[in-house]
A and B are shown apart, each in its own frame.
Chain A
Amino acid sequence: MPVFRHAPSRTHQHHELVAELARHLEPAPGEPLPPQPEIYEEEVPGTRPLLRVWVVWGAWANLSELERSQIILEAYERARGRKAMLGVSIAAGLTPREAEELGLAVQAASA
């Protein structure tokens, strides 16, 4: 009988992905960036400035939904500070395929 092991709550790429996403959030002037991750921010109705953030990234493929959300929040805190992180009410990571299945890529491209 095969043995199934639960994945650790944080994968080994965790810190690397936080750093890369933070670099995309606040790139240095003139710094060339790869096309991914794509970061989509949308205002959320509320009593203070809030954001819904989707990050479309092939690097999410082996990560749980929860860890993707965690990485996004950590990247916002690193790049823009705690106040900005607290303003993210929804942090969701999608692979390009998942985004396409939800119609997000099409919607974003036409917006």
Chain B
Amino acid sequence: MAWLGADRPVSLSAAFAMRPVPLPQDTIDGFEDARRARFEEGLYLWAYADAPANPAGSAYLLGFSIEIALKAAYFRVEGLAPAFPIDHQVLNTARNKAGLLGVTTPHESFHSLVFWCEALRALRVSLGSPLPPAADAPLQRYARSSQDRWWVGMRYQPSATSAAELDDLVEAASWFDSNYVLLYR
């Protein structure tokens, strides 16, 4: 077994970085910027849309803001640095780790709100810092209710979101926006 610590001149990650076609890298920092942006865009469409009977755009963006919040909070709890690249290997490891911690919800190409909610909760419990009940209960409730109203594939479907469902998504996304920091602290 070899140990390649920070004191070594050449690291394995450096070897990966030398690959000829660098891909854009997702990071916690990027997730957090995107989370806030998608939330504000979704809220804007909800508040100012001329055709509230067709709220698909708003619902789509608000759902993404929740997904990104859960994902970013998970990796914050994991302990990764904000600028660390979140690639498919990191995602696969998170998926497998969630499975070992008893999460059975399918990740749905890493877009399932309930998967990320359960993975986050399980990771926090395993690390000895479960969410307080006052945050844990709404976290679960809003993740589950939002999953009933949003899925990543809805972009290919005619809008099926009612005004009442959109109001529910606004309430849920607003909770995640207001309580985002609480999810990982």
Chain A residues close to B by CB (< 8 Å)? 24-25, 38-48, 50, 52, 54, 65-66, 69-70, 73-74, 77, 82, 85-86, 88-92, 102-104, 106-108, 110-111
A21: min CB distance to chain B, Å:
11
Given contacts A85-B97, A108-B4, contact A69 B92 (CB under 8 A): yes
The segment out of B78-86, B144-152, B171-179 that lies at the interface is: B78-86
Which of A46, A54, A111 meets B10, CB within 8 Å? A111
Given contacts A77-B100, A82-B126, contact A38 B93 (CB under 8 A): no
* Cβ–Cβ contact B96 & A46, under 8 A: no
* Cβ–Cβ contact B13 & A73, under 8 A: no
On chain A, the residues within 8 Å of B156 by CB distance are none
Contact bitstring B112-134, A, C-beta under 8 A = 1, else 0:
00000000000100110000000
A19: min CB distance to chain B, Å:
16
Which of A25, A40, A106 meets B2, CB within 8 Å? A40
On chain A, the residues within 8 Å of B3 by CB distance are 41
* Cβ–Cβ contact B13 & A86, under 8 A: no
**30 A/B residue pairs, CB under 8 Å, sorted by A:** A25-B1, A38-B1, A39-B2, A40-B2, A41-B2, A41-B3, A42-B5, A42-B12, A47-B79, A50-B78, A50-B79, A66-B96, A69-B89, A69-B93, A69-B96, A73-B100, A86-B97, A86-B127, A90-B93, A91-B89, A91-B92, A91-B93, A92-B89, A103-B18, A104-B16, A106-B15, A107-B11, A108-B2, A111-B9, A111-B11
Given contacts A48-B79, A69-B92, A103-B18, contact A40 B10 (CB under 8 A): no
Interface of A is mostly: mixed
* Cβ–Cβ contact B93 & A89, under 8 A: yes
**Minimum CB distance partner of A107 in chain B:** B15
Which of A46, A52, A86 meets B126, CB within 8 Å? A86
On chain A, the residues within 8 Å of B81 by CB distance are 44-47
**Minimum CB distance partner of B85 in chain A:** A90
A95: min CB distance to chain B, Å:
15
Please measure, in the bound complex, the distance between the C-alpha atom of A33 and the C-alpha atom of B45, giving whole angstroms. 62
On chain B, the residues within 8 Å of A65 by CB distance are 92
Please measure, in the bound complex, the distance between the C-alpha atom of A86 and the C-alpha atom of B14, giving whole angstroms. 24
**Minimum CB distance partner of B92 in chain A:** A69
On chain B, the residues within 8 Å of A45 by CB distance are 80-81, 84
* Cβ–Cβ contact A89 & B4, under 8 A: no
Q: In B37-73, which residues have CB < 8 Å from any A CB?
A: none
